[in-house]
Homo-oligomer: A and B are copies of this chain.
Amino acid sequence: MSKVGDEMQAVGMVVEFNPFHNGHAYYVQQAKKQTGADVAVAVMSGNFTQRGEPTIVDKWERTRAALANGVDLVVELPLYFACQPAHRFAAGALALLDQLQVPTVAFGAEHPQWDFKKFVRLAADFDQAALKQYNATYATQFNDQLAQQTGVSLKAPNDILAFAYNKAVLDHHYQMQLVPIQRVGSNYHDQVITGRIASASAIREAVDQHASFAEAVPGEMGAALRQLVSVPAWDDLYPLLRNQLIQAPLESLRQTYQMAEGLEFRLKAAAQQALGFDQFIHAIKTKRYTYAHLIRLCLYTTLQLTEEELAWHAAHPYIHILGFNRRGQEYLHQVKKQVNIPLFTKVSQQMRDHLYNVDYRAGKLYQTFTPVEQDLKHAPVIWQ
């Protein structure tokens, strides 16, 4: 990679770091090495994951661990991009990296050798009406068609994201280069820790079971995880969701983002009976929707997030800086004049009530699990 004068070159990453583990540290190192970048910029989900689950520790702890392990700048992926199917998640994240003038984005993939660009071009000819539904039925149809034409099965979560990044770049004509990195050491769905490299879900499970996890995470993250009394989970948010489903009239529930095709009846009915979240989510599951889709819908409902509100926010993106080290700060200084959306390090009362309102509300919801004020006037993490 060539450098223009004294300008630093950045590599971008789209991450959840839930929690930050040794595999992530390796990925950050590889991203910098393979691209020759001076600075690593991570766009990270806030306090809720793509699946709509509360993160194991808050965004500030995850930012700290990332900065301690090779990331130079962490910005928040707003909830209305973060808690979305892969294509929206990817498009939202790349829009922010594009604003931050990042020329290269590195990402883990189960099959980095695949020609994702070609898949995207092929998919353009698939049934576009079905695609708009983004549901489980569509995903199956899409995969069947792709398998027929290419012989590959696009089912591993990071491969699906790789496809989505490529699609976002083509759709929006971004200039950025995409660099897939082979995932190592463990599968996403592995449920036990077998060495220094373990999956995030195996680590979460170990924390939940009070089993050993120290070898799989850097010290900074280990310290934060050891503070946990219990792993944040939907069970503790369910009373809030349930009350909303019971008290709100159907015509309000119907306004909820992604509350399609009479789902409000199904959710309201299930809430009357189900005393716990597991029972509830099983009661509402159908073949048509994935669990991830339904858990996100639970989050939107608890946040009273409407279709209209989400559309407004998606059209008014911003860059909320969660933390940086000296290099990250210099990079920010280098690019900030070219950023033409709001960029800020502290959430003011005015932002809380307007631009940042959805993430603020999500932060308050997350405070079910922590006494730490998540946003209002929270200073960014400054790593020495």
Binding site for B on A (CB under 8 A): 239-240, 243-244, 246-249, 252, 272, 275, 302-304, 361, 364-365, 368, 371, 376
CB-contact partner of A361 in B247, B302, B304, B371, under 8 A:
B247
Residues in B with CB closer than 8 Å to A368 are 239
- Oligomer: number of copies: 2
Known: A248-B304, A304-B248. Contact between A243 and B365, CB under 8 A? yes
Cross-chain contact A272 with B364 (CB below 8 angstroms): yes
Cross-chain contact B303 with A364 (CB below 8 angstroms): no
Cross-chain contact A243 with B302 (CB below 8 angstroms): yes
Q: Is the interface of A mostly helix, strand, loop or mixed?
A: helix
Cross-chain contact B247 with A304 (CB below 8 angstroms): yes
Q: Which residue on B lies nearest to A236, using beta carbons?
A: B239
Report the bound CA distance from A208 to B50 in whole Å: 44
In the assembled complex, the CB of A256 is this many whole angstroms from the nearest CB of chain B, namely 11
Cross-chain contact A243 with B246 (CB below 8 angstroms): no
Residues in B with CB closer than 8 Å to A249 are 304
Known: A239-B239, A239-B240, A240-B239. Contact between A364 and B246, CB under 8 A? yes
Cross-chain contact B365 with A302 (CB below 8 angstroms): no
Report the bound CA distance from A368 to B303 in whole Å: 20
Report the bound CA distance from A239 to B361 in whole Å: 14
Cross-chain contact B246 with A361 (CB below 8 angstroms): yes
Report the bound CA distance from A347 to B216 in whole Å: 55
Residues in B with CB closer than 8 Å to A246 are 361, 364-365
Q: Which of A246, A248, A252, A376 gathers most chain B CB within 10 Å?
A: A246
Report the bound CA distance from A365 to B246 in whole Å: 9
15 contacts between A and B (CB under 8 A): A239-B239, A239-B368, A240-B240, A243-B243, A243-B244, A243-B302, A243-B364, A244-B244, A246-B361, A247-B303, A247-B304, A248-B304, A249-B304, A272-B364, A272-B376
Q: Which residue on B lies nearest to A271, using beta carbons?
A: B364
Residues in B with CB closer than 8 Å to A243 are 240, 243-244, 302, 364-365
Residues in B with CB closer than 8 Å to A275 are 371
Report the bound CA distance from A361 to B249 in whole Å: 11
Residues in B with CB closer than 8 Å to A304 are 247-249, 252
Report the bound CA distance from A365 to B244 in whole Å: 11
In the assembled complex, the CB of A191 is this many whole angstroms from the nearest CB of chain B, namely 31
Residues in B with CB closer than 8 Å to A361 are 246-247
Known: A272-B364, A364-B272. Contact between A302 and B239, CB under 8 A? no
Report the bound CA distance from A376 to B376 in whole Å: 43
Report the bound CA distance from A272 to B352 in whole Å: 11
Report the bound CA distance from A304 to B303 in whole Å: 15
Which 5 pairs, one residue from A and one from B, show the smallest C-beta to C-beta distance? A247-B304, A240-B243, A246-B364, A247-B303, A247-B361
Report the bound CA distance from A120 to B300 in whole Å: 52
Residues in B with CB closer than 8 Å to A302 are 243, 247
Report the bound CA distance from A182 to B260 in whole Å: 60
Q: Which of A243, A368, A376 gathers most chain B CB within 10 Å?
A: A243
In the assembled complex, the CB of A252 is this many whole angstroms from the nearest CB of chain B, namely 8
Residues in B with CB closer than 8 Å to A303 are 247
Report the bound CA distance from A361 to B248 in whole Å: 10
In the assembled complex, the CB of A14 is this many whole angstroms from the nearest CB of chain B, namely 27
Q: Which residue on B lies nearest to A240, using beta carbons?
A: B243
Residues in B with CB closer than 8 Å to A248 are 304
In the assembled complex, the CB of A287 is this many whole angstroms from the nearest CB of chain B, namely 27
